[in-house]
């Protein structure tokens, strides 16, 4: 089968590998669509925390935001060949203390698809444990299903804090996570403001219905918000998020910033009674995310950028690295011929 291989820092290649062999309790899935995100770009550029701490090593196959069709099953009747599925990124052991206590996302023997210890979905086929699969309902197309993985992280963020009616809520960073957060938060009785840098992404947020979407202005926007979702995954965005907090406010970190903050006013954090929440993925929310796409509360509008066949993965990553690309989500279509867009399934 054809796969996208990252063979060294900056090297994205089309490779050939054997189709993964049968294993108990696993499924072979033909991949229809794969979304690429900042974590994948970090694997290409070499700055990924998984590469730095040795969990990931080249060569590797990226791709953790995917949808496909079951081809073969080993030891299960839960799914049937031909069924459309998405797969959880986190593969848990079901045996450790955390798993046994119902806190699977804290599993101490974790593997993550396309990140470490499990090849990703930027390939014609992927083999994963059947327990990691979630069926895609009718009415959710492949473009939407490939967005379920970032959506579950946003849903986890929304479980961290009560979103009170009338609250002033800010989302920082209108990338994929930020746009999905905006779409959900627009359903709440709150005043929603978006802060970002790219004019096209900010215009998209205004079209979606945000009251304001513009650059963060410390003079105007400091100490003004009850709840701030940091989705840019940058230290600068995180600093703006801190400044935006009112007394008693909460900051929820969804994006993953690397590096250290230049300033952290610990006294203000304590005296202003701020709460900080980190979001460690949302593996419990896949069915809810699919349901929200089925209901039309989430959709792919304003989110999708171009889609590429596997043979043009290097171009896909180049576009992903371009911060002026507008709509954020770049995708790969493993079954697509060169230059072909995918068919809309269901």
Interacting residues with Zn ion (CB under 5 A) = 37, 39, 65, 92-93, 96, 99, 107
CB of 336 to Zn ion, least distance (A): 20
- Indicate the residue among 72 and 98 with the shorter CB distance to Zn ion: 98
On whether the CB atoms of residues 172 and 196 are closer than 8 A, the answer is yes
CB of 100 to Zn ion, least distance (A): 8
CB of 82 to Zn ion, least distance (A): 27
CB of 45 to Zn ion, least distance (A): 15
> Looking up tokens 């206590």, which residue turns up?
101
CB of 106 to Zn ion, least distance (A): 8
For 299, the token pair is 């959709």
- What angle is formed at CA 73 by the lines to CA 70 and CA 77, rounded to 5 degrees? 100
- Indicate the residue among 153 and 242 with the shorter CB distance to Zn ion: 153
Integer angstrom CA distances of residue 65 from 31, 33, 110, 132, 307: 11, 8, 17, 13, 14
- Indicate the residue among 100 and 295 with the shorter CB distance to Zn ion: 100
Query: Which residues, 6+ apart, have CB-to-CB distance to 240 below 8 Å?
Result: 172, 195, 216, 218, 221
Task: Supply φ then ψ for residue 195, to 5 degrees.
Answer: -115, 135
On whether the CB atoms of residues 181 and 161 are closer than 8 A, the answer is no
**Is the Cα dihedral 275, 209, 38, 128 positive or negative?**
positive
- Indicate the residue among 102 and 189 with the shorter CB distance to Zn ion: 102
On whether the CB atoms of residues 247 and 273 are closer than 8 A, the answer is yes
- Indicate the residue among 41 and 161 with the shorter CB distance to Zn ion: 41
CB of 231 to Zn ion, least distance (A): 12
- Indicate the residue among 19 and 96 with the shorter CB distance to Zn ion: 96
- Indicate the residue among 91 and 210 with the shorter CB distance to Zn ion: 91
Gap between the Cα atoms of 201 and 317, Å rounded: 19
CB of 97 to Zn ion, least distance (A): 8
**Is the Cα dihedral 102, 154, 145, 26 positive or negative?**
negative
């Amino acid at each position: 089968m054809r796969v996208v291989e990252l063979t060294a820092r900056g090297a994205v290649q089309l490779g050939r590998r054997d189709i993964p062999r049968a294993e108990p309790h696993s499924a072979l899935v033909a991949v229809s669509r794969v979304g690429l995100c900042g974590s994948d770009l970090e694997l290409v550029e070499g700055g990924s925390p998984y590469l730095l701490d040795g969990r990931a090593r080249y060569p590797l196959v990226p791709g953790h935001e995917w949808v496909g069709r079951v081809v073969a099953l080993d030891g299960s009747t839960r799914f049937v060949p031909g069924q459309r599925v998405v797969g959880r990124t986190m593969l848990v052991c079901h045996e450790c203390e955390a798993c046994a206590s119902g806190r699977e996302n804290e599993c101490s023997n974790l593997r993550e698809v396309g990140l470490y210890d499990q090849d990703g979905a930027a390939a014609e086929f992927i083999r994963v444990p059947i327990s990691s699969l979630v069926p895609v309902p009718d009415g959710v197309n492949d473009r939407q299903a490939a967005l379920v993985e970032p959506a579950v992280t946003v849903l986890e963020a929304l479980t961290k804090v009560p979103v009170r009616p009338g609250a002033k809520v800010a989302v920082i960073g209108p990338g994929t996570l930020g746009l999905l957060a905006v779409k959900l938060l627009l359903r709440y009785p709150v005043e929603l403001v978006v802060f970002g840098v790219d004019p096209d992404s900010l215009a998209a947020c205004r079209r979606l219905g945000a009251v304001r979407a513009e650059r963060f202005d410390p003079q105007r926007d400091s100490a003004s918000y009850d709840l701030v979702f940091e989705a840019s995954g940058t230290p600068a965005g995180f600093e703006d998020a801190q400044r935006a907090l009112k007394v008693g406010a909460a900051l929820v970190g969804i994006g993953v910033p690397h590096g250290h903050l230049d300033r952290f006013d610990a006294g203000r954090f304590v005296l202003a009674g701020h709460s900080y929440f980190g979001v460690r993925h949302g593996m419990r929310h896949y069915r809810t995310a699919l349901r929200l796409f089925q209901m039309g509360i989430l959709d792919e509008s304003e989110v999708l950028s171009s889609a590429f066949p596997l043979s043009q993965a290097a171009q896909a990553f180049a576009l992903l690295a371009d911060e002026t690309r507008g709509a954020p989500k770049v995708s790969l279509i493993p079954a697509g011929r060169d230059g072909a867009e995918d068919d809309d399934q269901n």
